Amino acid sequence: KAGVTQTPRYLIKTRGQQVTLSCSPISGHRSVSWYQQTPGQGLQFLFEYFSETQRNKGNFPGRFSGRQFSNSRSEMNVSTLELGDSALYLCASSVDGAYNSPLHFGNGTRLTVT
Amino acid sequence: DQQVKQNSPSLSVQEGRISILNCDYTNSMFDYFLWYKKYPAEGPTFLISISSIKDKNEDGRFTVFLNKSAKHLSLHIVPSQPGDSAVYFCAASEWGAQKLVFGQGTRLTINP
């Protein structure tokens, strides 16, 4: 079974631009979560989607948004990019989105904002 | 406020010996705990988990121990192998919310 797939692997954007990241979960998984990893803050929760509905949101500004499609694929959008948005963005999926279902992570998208 | 803490940024262990990674948490609402392993340029890989109703869970060479009164969990790897060299993250979630809170990670190096 294929794992979680994230595209693109690397992105370089300029401050003020916007960016869209894509995630395909493991087949059959209905919950998709997004995390940001930075050297200073570690891994931080962005949001979680289940059946196209956002169920949880982390403590990030409104510039960070996401959505989930009917096939469970998900996209994350960051508008008006800031230098501090440079990070590894990780997508994870789980079968049923239960709190005690382990998350399975993709290899991430490395975003660099210049 | 860091709710999950891994106080050792790094740990070096000889091959064949036991590796013990520690994690402390402050939120008494955490109900489910996990350990992940991460290699460079890859996403975290799920290793093992434990529910708050248990105090031990074992899977092959990996055992996780949970001490709820001390708000402490640990991961034991026996015997340690060179391929275990990676960054290990502990994580926790509250009942009903699939939102993991991660520690800062511990870099484990297994020396031949």
Residues of B with CB under 8 A from a CB of A: 31-32, 34, 36, 41-46, 49, 51, 89, 91, 93-105
Say how many C-beta atoms besides its own lie within 10 A of residue A3's C-beta. Answer: 16
Position B9 pLDDT exceeds 80: yes
> Is A59 part of the contact surface with chain B (CB cutoff 8 Å)?
no
Contact B58, B66 (CB under 8 A): no
- Give the span between the Cα atoms of A111 and A92, in whole angstroms: 17
Residue B60 is predicted with a pLDDT of 97
Position B1 pLDDT exceeds 90: no
Spell B16-44 as b/e; 16+ CB within 10 A means b. Answer: eeebbbbbbbeeeebbbbbbbbbeeeebb
Q: How confident is the model at residue B58 (pLDDT cuts 50, 70, 90)?
A: very high
Residue type, A86: S
Q: Is A42 in Cβ contact with B104 (below 8 Å)?
A: yes
- Give the span between the Cα atoms of A44 and A89, in whole angstroms: 10
Q: How confident is the model at residue A99 (pLDDT cuts 50, 70, 90)?
A: confident
Position A92 pLDDT exceeds 90: yes
**Mean pLDDT, range B8-19, rounded to an integer:** 97
Position A1 pLDDT exceeds 80: no
A8 preceded by cis ω (within 30°)? Answer: yes
Residue A41 is predicted with a pLDDT of 86
- How many Å lie between the alpha carbon of B59 and the closest alpha carbon of chain A? 15
Position A58 pLDDT exceeds 90: yes
Q: How confident is the model at residue B10 (pLDDT cuts 50, 70, 90)?
A: very high
Test mutation, B32, B100, B104, B107, chain A, max A CBs within 10 A: B100
The number of residues making up chain A comes to 114
> Is A66 part of the contact surface with chain B (CB cutoff 8 Å)?
no
Residue B70 is predicted with a pLDDT of 97
